[in-house]
Amino acid sequence: MTVVIGFEGSANKIGVGIIRDGEVLSNPRRTYITPPGQGFMPSDTARHHRAVILTVLKEALEEAGLKPADIDCVAYTKGPGMGAPLVTVAIVARTVAQLWGKPLLGVNHCIGHIEMGRLITKASNPTVLYVSGGNTQVIAYSERRYRIFGETIDIAVGNCLDRFARVIKISNDPSPGYNIEQMAKTGTQYVELPYTVKGMDVSFSGILSYIEETVFAMLVEITERAMAHCSSQEVLIVGGVGCNLRLQEMMGVMCEERGAKLFATDDRFCIDNGAMIAQAGWEMFQSGQVTELEDSWITQR
């Protein structure tokens, strides 16, 4: 049996997760939360991660009931993400791998989300809507690669929601998007906004008011187009915005009309976490991949 520990810290979440052959043994995390109206700066976020990462690592090992000798591989988020937080996590992962004498694996953050979603939901070959603070993409597996069929041409949907929350001073605890969702549940008036779908891509940069219904409808449209192109009967929603129940509801209606099936996870696994990096690392390690120390850099893109 193969045990992989994963370190995630590409944005304001710092997490350490342990996977053993598809079983999540532990997955603790911490969130850097700023006051209402403020975003999180890279340097401050990295400082937060440095302050808590060893505590989270200890929690992960204790929760899993494992010792360093039980770990077979150390995986970490190579990117994309914010530079300073990524570097913080990469340094710890490199150090741990050398101290424990274990192979190291740099993992693509986006693939981590997808592989975690596939593991938890058991979706076999879905069209994936990946929606988070930094990414908005429609992805499908074709000819032995994950391929992007559509994406945002400016800001990500999560960033759009976060900026809207900052403008009207919505709390960042536990997250701006969650608080917007709760407020939207009590709304009674739909305000029409620019609906900007350009082919298979979307644009969010001009929308900063009463936005949830419109941006989610845009995402459902381009996801349905990708499904038609790939002859897919499954949709998997991943990323932090993916645990929004309204988005899941709207996507579910589309899937039902097509006779397709919707897969989604809750906030344990759709929000950035260490287990998703461990799972993608497990897949890579099983196929014989490792990252040499001199190649264990990070990339923001």
Binding residue per annotation — 72?
A: no
Binding residue per annotation — 244?
A: yes
What is the full DSSP assignment across 22-82? TEEEE--EEE--PPTT----HHHHHHHHHHHHHHHHHHHHHHHT--GGG--EEEEEEESS-
Binding residue per annotation — 3?
A: no
Contacts of 241 (CB under 8 A, 6+ apart): 131, 132, 133, 157, 158, 161, 177, 247
Contacts of 228 (CB under 8 A, 6+ apart): none
Strands 104-108 and 201-202: unpaired
Binding residue per annotation — 195?
A: no
Q: Phi and psi for 53 in degrees, rounded to 5?
A: -65, -35
Gap between the Cα atoms of 209 and 167, Å rounded: 9
For residue 203 the two structure tokens come to 């644009």
Question: Residue 38 to residues 169, 176, 213, 272: CA-CA distances in angstroms?
Answer: 8, 11, 24, 20
At 254, is the secondary structure helix, strand, or coil?
A: helix
- DSSP bridge pairs for 261: 234
Binding residue per annotation — 22?
A: no
Binding residue per annotation — 272?
A: yes
Binding residue per annotation — 133?
A: yes
Gap between the Cα atoms of 252 and 258, Å rounded: 10
Q: Phi and psi for 223 in degrees, rounded to 5?
A: -65, -40
Binding residue per annotation — 113?
A: yes
Gap between the Cα atoms of 139 and 142, Å rounded: 9
What is the full DSSP assignment across 149-180? EEEBSSS-HHHHHHHHHHHTT---SS-HHHHH
Binding residue per annotation — 26?
A: no
Binding residue per annotation — 134?
A: yes
Binding residue per annotation — 143?
A: no
Binding residue per annotation — 37?
A: no
Q: Which residues belong to the annotated binding site?
A: 109, 113, 130-134, 162, 177, 181, 244, 272
Q: Which residues belong to the annotated binding site for substrate?
A: 130-134, 162, 177, 181, 244
Q: Which residues belong to the annotated binding site for a divalent metal cation?
A: 109, 113, 130, 272
